[in-house]
Structure 1
Amino acid sequence: MAILVYPPTIDWDWMMQRPQQLMKYFARAGHTVYYCNRTLEDAPAEEIEPGLFIVKHHERWLEREWKPAKARLQAPVIVWCSLPQLASSLRQYDPDLIVYDCVDEFAEWAPYEREMAACADAVVCTSERLRERLDGRYPGKRLALVRNAYDLDMGLHLPNEDDAAMTPADLPAGPTIGYIGAWAPWVNPNLLLYTARLQRQAQIVVIGPEFGRPFAPYRSGIRFLGMKPHRQLSSYLRRLSVGLIPFRLTAVTLATNPVKAYEYLAAGIPVVSTSLPECRMMMPYVDTAADAADFHRLTLERLQDAGDREARKRFALCNTWAHRVQEIEAFLFG
């Protein structure tokens, strides 16, 4: 077993995505995990479930708690970092291993990546496109492709025993086409507007935070429900008739492996995406569209015929975060 440290990057309560999921499932696999928030709350690290500690004041923890904890646990220390800007600070934990988790192709991260790759003992990435680039740029570096996954805690794959009581009040009645995720520059609003304009069979909803741009200009025919707490997302996901991934094709999205695809599939609902390479690899469980007309056509077809829900659930259950931790353990320790 090992001690994993995730340095201050994203606070635990902000968004339950890849770093949080991996750290949670590392702890469940028997490792000890310290997830460091950026907050300055003067309190000791809190154990939120066995082996998983949230560090609320990083500097205080590093000064007072880290060395005694490391001496007590007597295990190898792995620093898991997904933000290359932090490369120069990672040696302060006196790690036995530094792992760079390359999760996105953001241009603003590029200037820092070479230093991060140089200090990392191993690199993990989320998509085949990232793997090919990293392998070409840093030949000889230990490298593994470990995609995103489904969080079993969401319970989307389980039977819904109390359907009426769990229906969110702000969801429209009847068939619902939904996009769950950040309303960000990589979302193509024209795909949603095109589908909303050409059909009246279902209401289109967007659930997620505004990120980098406001939603207001796109309200025609689309209901924006805003950001929901992660614990509530399951009740929305279950009630979608079709789940959408309406991304523009950019350097960022071509390298992304969308977490929401696994969540839609775990609920058994049809998924329609633009032609992202990682979504094409999920076919036939995900339908990928060549253009706006194709996106609209596939969405309408799935409204009329949802297809094999159980096959989608099985795919998701073969791609959980617990599976990803097993892949990483085999890569690092096997």
Structure 2
Amino acid sequence: MIIYPPLMDWNWMKQRPQQLMSRLAKQGHVVYYCNRTQTDRAPEEIEPNLTLVHHHQNWLRSDWPKLRKRYDSVGVWCNNPMLANTLSSYQADWIVYDCADDFGEWIRHEKEMVAIADAIVCSSQRLFLRLQKTFPHKRLVLIRNGYDPEMNLHKTEKREIPVDLMDEQNNKLIGYVGAWAPWIDEALVRKISCIDPAWKVVVIGAEFQKKFHHNGLPHVRYLGLKPHQLLPSYIQAFSVCVIPFRLNPITLATNPVKAYEYLAAGKPVIATDLPECRLMRPHVDIAPTHDQFIEKIKKRIFDPGDPCARIEYALQNTWETRSLQAEALLSELI
């Protein structure tokens, strides 16, 4: 049995925790995924072997003592080291610390988390090397992010253009899907939006610690957060997909899920000089400077390149592949 303690809600953009827990449930593990948001609802089995806990504290008091007696092996898969001092509540037989972000406030709690963890998983080479150097005697596995084939981005059937892009049908669309966050290079986005009046920038994603200011970016269409199942129609409508990140400790350590999704749709992808995106060359174009970023967009608008090779790369790097790596680790721990 696996418990994922409260960090993010299940419906939050189908990111790494949801993808791994869903696939481990498909492989036969009983998984209890605990939402961060607390609502007065009974635990809900949303997939075979996968139960969503809507009110963690109530579940911990009422249901968990009985469940603990039922299972011989109970483990915790935890992304947030700040939860380390709460994990004893589960009386777990093993703990995996899944390090997928380099947030400064999390690193301060990492030593405590690693002390109780039986293994560490991380999502990028930079995280792997940092953790290997800091905790050389700990079991450490590199499991990157991946593409979810259930999105069907790799299938070539034509999708309907989303209603809020109908008036852009005659324009070339340069798309970004992801959080509008402090690590977005807003100056670069502004330059991209001014390349050509007929080329529009479309941004899809939630505001995260940063507001989108329309006055500062008048040529950018900000559509906000869209349901995960609608993203394929938007991505298919893009001519070029971009990852316009500033370089900082968070972005240097990230393995962007969006890169796999863009590639699965066969789209040209241009990214700033992120280490994990460098490893995706030649399928991803790397642009260390603003001027190079603009030039690569101009090139890919008219010369998109080989979509089949990009799709094949995405299909070689799916969440199913990543979950098999996780399963191999769990077979050592259980």
- Given residue 169 of structure 1, which amino acid in structure 2 is its aligned partner? V
Preserved contact between residue 8 and residue 36 of structure 1 (Cα < 8 Å) = yes
Residue matched to 1:97: 94
Write out per-residue CA displacement over residues 6-57 of structure 1, whole angstroms, 9 at most, x where no aligned residue.
0011111233211111111111111111000123333321000111110011
Residue matched to 1:45: 43
| Structure 1 residue ranges without an equivalent (≥5) | none
| Structure 2 residue ranges without an equivalent (≥5) | none
Residue matched to 1:278: 276
Residue matched to 2:236: 238
- Given residue 170 of structure 1, which amino acid in structure 2 is its aligned partner? D
Residue matched to 2:152: 155
Cα drift, residue 75 of structure 1: 4.5
Preserved contact between residue 264 and residue 310 of structure 2 (Cα < 8 Å) = yes
State the superposition RMSD in angstroms: 1.4
Calculate percent identity across the aligned residue pairs: 50
Q: Structure 2 CA distance, aligned partners of 1:9 and 1:290? A: 33
Q: Residues 11-50 of structure 1 correspond to what in structure 2 (within 5 A)? A: 11-50=9-48
Q: Structure 1 CA distance, aligned partners of 2:291 and 2:55? A: 51
Comparing 200-209 and 282-291, the one that deviates more: 200-209
- Given residue 188 of structure 1, which amino acid in structure 2 is its aligned partner? D
Is 1:168 matched up with 2:166? no
Is 1:118 matched up with 2:84? no
Q: Structure 2 CA distance, aligned partners of 1:307 and 1:115? A: 47
- Given residue 288 of structure 1, which amino acid in structure 2 is its aligned partner? I
- Given residue 229 of structure 2, which amino acid in structure 1 is its aligned partner? R
Q: Structure 1 CA distance, aligned partners of 2:232 and 2:72? A: 37
Preserved contact between residue 189 and residue 218 of structure 1 (Cα < 8 Å) = no
Q: Structure 2 CA distance, aligned partners of 1:268 and 1:183? A: 24
- Given residue 123 of structure 1, which amino acid in structure 2 is its aligned partner? I
Residue matched to 1:129: 126
Preserved contact between residue 202 and residue 220 of structure 2 (Cα < 8 Å) = yes
- TM-score calculated relative to the size of structure 2: 0.95
- TM-score calculated relative to the size of structure 1: 0.95
Cα drift, residue 198 of structure 1: 2.6
- Given residue 205 of structure 1, which amino acid in structure 2 is its aligned partner? V
Residue matched to 1:254: 252
Write out per-residue CA displacement over residues 170-218 of structure 1, whole angstroms, 9 at most, x where no aligned residue.
1221321011111111000111211222323521111111211221143
- Given residue 84 of structure 1, which amino acid in structure 2 is its aligned partner? P
Q: Secondary structure at the match of 2:226?
A: coil
Residue matched to 2:105: 108
Q: Where do 4+ consecutive residues of structure 1 move more than 4 Å?
A: none
Comparing 282-291 and 38-47, the one that deviates more: 38-47
Write out per-residue CA displacement over residues 213-252 of structure 1, whole angstroms, 9 at most, x where no aligned residue.
2211432221111111122111111111111000001111
Q: Structure 2 CA distance, aligned partners of 1:48 and 1:264? A: 28
- Given residue 9 of structure 1, which amino acid in structure 2 is its aligned partner? L
Residue matched to 2:217: 219
Residue matched to 2:306: 308
Q: Structure 2 CA distance, aligned partners of 1:42 and 1:182? A: 29
* The one of 190, 193, 198 aligned to 2:195: 198
Cα drift, residue 271 of structure 1: 0.4
Q: Structure 1 CA distance, aligned partners of 2:223 and 2:173? A: 13
Comparing 77-86 and 8-17, the one that deviates more: 8-17
Q: Secondary structure at the match of 1:44?
A: coil
Write out per-residue CA displacement over residues 239-291 of structure 1, whole angstroms, 9 at most, x where no aligned residue.
11111000001111001000100010111101000010000000011000020
- Given residue 218 of structure 1, which amino acid in structure 2 is its aligned partner? G
Q: Structure 1 CA distance, aligned partners of 2:211 and 2:36? A: 26
Preserved contact between residue 24 and residue 327 of structure 2 (Cα < 8 Å) = no
Preserved contact between residue 279 and residue 286 of structure 1 (Cα < 8 Å) = yes
Cα drift, residue 91 of structure 1: 1.7
Q: Structure 2 CA distance, aligned partners of 1:132 and 1:13? A: 31
Q: Structure 1 CA distance, aligned partners of 2:68 and 2:27? A: 19
Q: Structure 2 CA distance, aligned partners of 1:45 and 1:59? A: 12
Q: Secondary structure at the match of 1:218?
A: coil
Residue matched to 1:266: 264
Residue matched to 1:209: 206
Q: Secondary structure at the match of 1:170?
A: helix
